[in-house]
């Protein structure tokens, strides 16, 4: 009986050895393709230093995937691919409802903000502040066509136009950088800039205040819920990301705090019970 046990041990050892030599098929890692601007801090850049880079990586980690970026300048439109140009599955930083496909739930809400020199102690908090009629106001232009932003329309509705300076992007800087620099060096008294850009760019000697208004009558939004755009044919990815956004809310807020992204709560809408 002893020799039978010895033979069995030898056979089993041989089987185990052969099993170890059998190559196992490697499972390819899941990849999520993300549209992003290669040079648009604090949002994203090629080095992965923006808060949208950090949030994309967090989502990918939670989905056991890796991020593959498709770089496209936001100036030319992340949702306007050219002929034969590859488009990613996911785009961060999209106002809710603006995506040409599906949208996730919002992961933050921000607004345009007033930027002033702290020493001036202006503390402007409303587009109805009468001082805006005399202060020199810098406003950023957006996109490759230098479109007017909502604050420009809100000022124009109040007849505030002659003292408004439209600040465009240049070859050496984007319009938020230029608008805030204009405040710092005294070219303008006040600038109105998209909150996430202002929070990251503003340094010592400058102050940010949030406007009281989130909607300028009759319905011009000054604050926006920010979501992620998903390719229309991929509702499963939208549902997966929505779960991550819900589960990782604390971590996402921590990333936004690191980049000093100002956030606002959505206004409460009264509902009639009649």
Confidence band of 85 (pLDDT split at 50, 70, 90): low
Q: Are 165 and 139 in contact (CB under 8 A)?
A: yes
- Tens digits of per-residue pLDDT, 95-129? 998 877 899 999 999 999 999 999 999 999 999 99
CA pair distance 251, 259, nearest whole angstrom: 13
Beta carbons within 8 Å of 246's beta carbon, 6+ residues apart: 105
- Same fold flag, 30-108+224-258 and 111-221: yes
- Tens digits of per-residue pLDDT, 140-170? 887 655 678 999 999 999 999 999 999 986 5
Determine the 3-state secondary structure of 149 from DSSP: coil
CA pair distance 69, 89, nearest whole angstrom: 10
Domain locations in the chain? 30-108+224-258, 111-221
Q: What's the DSSP call for residue 147?
A: B
Per CATH, which fold does 111-221 belong to? Answer: D-Maltodextrin-Binding Protein; domain 2 (3.40.190)
- Tens digits of per-residue pLDDT, 192-245? 999 999 999 998 899 999 999 999 999 999 999 999 999 889 999 999 999 999
Looking at the chain, the whole-number percentage of residues with pLDDT higher than 90 is: 69
CA pair distance 63, 244, nearest whole angstrom: 8
Confidence band of 73 (pLDDT split at 50, 70, 90): confident
Q: Residue 9 has what pLDDT?
A: 44
Confidence band of 17 (pLDDT split at 50, 70, 90): very low
Assign domain 30-108+224-258 to its CATH architecture: 3-Layer(aba) Sandwich (3.40)
Q: Residue 222 has what pLDDT?
A: 96
């Amino acid at each position: 009986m002893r020799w039978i046990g010895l033979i069995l041990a030898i056979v089993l050892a041989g089987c185990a050895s052969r099993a170890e030599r059998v190559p196992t098929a490697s499972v390819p890692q899941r990849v999520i393709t993300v549209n992003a601007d290669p040079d648009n801090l604090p949002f994203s850049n090629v080095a992965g230093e923006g808060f949208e880079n950090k949030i994309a990586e967090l989502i990918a980690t939670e989905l056991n995937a890796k991020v593959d970026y498709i770089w496209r300048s936001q100036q030319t439109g992340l949702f306007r691919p050219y002929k034969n140009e590859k488009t990613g599955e996911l785009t961060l930083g999209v106002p809710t409802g603006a995506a040409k496909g599906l949208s996730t739930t919002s992961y933050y809400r921000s607004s345009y903000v007033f930027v002033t020199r702290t020493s001036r102690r202006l503390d402007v908090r409303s587009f109805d502040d009468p001082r805006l009629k005399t202060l020199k106001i810098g406003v950023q232009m957006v996109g490759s066509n230098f479109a007017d932003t909502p604050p420009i329309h809100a000022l124009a509705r109040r007849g505030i136009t002659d003292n408004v300076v439209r600040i465009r992007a240049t070859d050496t800087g984007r319009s938020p950088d230029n608008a805030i620099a204009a405040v710092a060096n005294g070219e303008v008294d006040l600038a109105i800039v998209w909150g996430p850009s202002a929070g990251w760019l503003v340094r010592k000697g400058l102050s940010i205040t949030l406007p009281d208004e989130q909607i300028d009558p009759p319905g011009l939004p000054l604050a926006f819920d920010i979501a992620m755009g998903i390719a229309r044919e991929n509702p499963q990815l939208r549902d997966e990301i929505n779960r991550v956004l819900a589960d990782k809310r604390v971590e996402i807020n921590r990333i936004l705090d690191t980049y000093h992204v100002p956030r606002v709560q959505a206004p409460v809408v009264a509902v009639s019970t009649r």
